[in-house]
Amino acid sequence: MDKPRIFLGSSGKQKKLLQALTRGLEDIAYVEPWTTSFNPGTTTLERLLELTREVDFAAFVFAQDDWTSASLPASPAPVSAQASPRDNVVFEAGLFGGVLGMRRTFILHANGSKLPSDLLGLTSVRYGEATTAAEMRAVNQKLRKAIENEGRAARIEGLWWQFSLSERTVKEPSAVSLLRISRDRYGALELAGRSWQENGSLSARYWSEAVKERKEPAGIFYFWNGERPLDANASQLYGTGEIRLESADRASGYFTTRADTQPKLNARTSGVYLRAEPEDLSILDGRDNQRRVELIAERLNHWISIKNV
């Protein structure tokens, strides 16, 4: 099973603390500190919104980075002000907390730093100003325990192997399919994939034209278009489908297949979906047909073994 992903947010002053957190968590999670998570061509807010849907956890350092006035500006500082985290860090904690939930969003709260009352429901881990090695080990251990208890978030996005429960026919020769469910820049779900025969040849490729997202449990209902590119005239296909998440790594559903040039083609295929890895996609996209055939055989054998249990 793939490791969960955790995003780390802080001010620029806390880079050493981020490095210590990364070292303490990298064996149980893919750690994504803010310093390496932003890409050219997208705004910070756009990327943050993407990350809320990509990661399983998030942790934010509420350090003594700023000095916030608590009353009139003319009042003496010791009475009217308090050390506080950077505004953007507070905003990001609320943003991720709203998407991931309280159990998956952590605040590393420096002693003496302000903690907004709106964020009191999030999991808070206190630490001292010195942040000794022993204290960092304790902080990391608390985060590790929370990550291990919750595990990966169950979400529909990602790469999926699609296996058919229905018997294969001449009209539906595909042995297996690999599809990706992702979000476009506006946050809407979309689906695209390809089907393969046992000999490694491409059977079909398809993509969603319209998608309705379902929640609790997560899932999608979609209308798709596609084609059989190796057929004469590259036969055009279309249909509907549904995928319902059962766990973080398994889903169930069906899809229908129709074609205007084949009026008698009106098939409904029940399927089971198992989480795929990026390496699987690389092999299917690669030029080594023998490796592709071997991968398809491996996945089909695995599918048969669990199908018959």
Q: What is the mean pLDDT of residues 284-296?
A: 95
Q: What is the mean pLDDT of residues 32-41?
A: 80
Strand partners of residue 214: 219
Q: Are 246 and 154 in contact (CB under 8 A)?
A: no
10 Å Cβ neighbour count for 67?
Answer: 11
**The predicted structure's pLDDT at residue 120:** 66
Mean pLDDT computed over every residue of the chain: 85
For residue 143, pLDDT over 90 is answered with yes
Q: From CA 152, how far away is CA 174, in angstroms rounded?
A: 31
Q: How confident is the model at residue 21 (pLDDT cuts 50, 70, 90)?
A: very high
For residue 76, pLDDT over 80 is answered with no
Q: From CA 49, how far away is CA 187, in angstroms rounded?
A: 8
**The predicted structure's pLDDT at residue 258:** 93
Give ranges for CATH 2.40.128 in the chain. Answer: 158-307
Q: How confident is the model at residue 200 (pLDDT cuts 50, 70, 90)?
A: very high
pTM of the model: 0.65
**The predicted structure's pLDDT at residue 169:** 58
Q: How confident is the model at residue 104 (pLDDT cuts 50, 70, 90)?
A: very high
In terms of DSSP bridges, do strands 30-33 and 5-9 run parallel, antiparallel, or are they unpaired?
parallel
**The predicted structure's pLDDT at residue 292:** 96
Q: What is the mean pLDDT of residues 179-187?
A: 88
Fold of 5-150: Rossmann fold (3.40.50)
For residue 159, pLDDT over 90 is answered with yes
Q: 13-22, 41-50, 63-72, 99-108: which has the minimum mean pLDDT?
A: 63-72
3-state secondary structure of 253: strand
Q: What is the mean pLDDT of residues 6-31?
A: 90
For residue 172, pLDDT over 90 is answered with no
Backbone angles phi and psi of 2, in degrees to 5: -70, 150
Q: How confident is the model at residue 261 (pLDDT cuts 50, 70, 90)?
A: confident
Indicate the residue type of 292. Answer: R
Question: Percent of the chain at pLDDT above 90?
Answer: 44
- The H or E element spanning position 137 is helix 133-150
**The predicted structure's pLDDT at residue 65:** 66
Q: How confident is the model at residue 152 (pLDDT cuts 50, 70, 90)?
A: confident
* pLDDT tens by residue, 107-133: 888 887 777 766 766 777 887 766 788
Q: From CA 297, how far away is CA 277, in angstroms rounded?
A: 16
The residue ranking higher by pLDDT, 134 or 41, is 134
Q: How confident is the model at residue 170 (pLDDT cuts 50, 70, 90)?
A: low
Token pair 């000999």: residue: 199
Question: What is the CATH code of the structural domain delimited by 158-307?
Answer: 2.40.128
Give ranges for CATH 3.40.50.2300 in the chain. Answer: 5-150
Q: Which is it for the CA torsion 69, 71, 75, 77, positive or negative?
A: negative
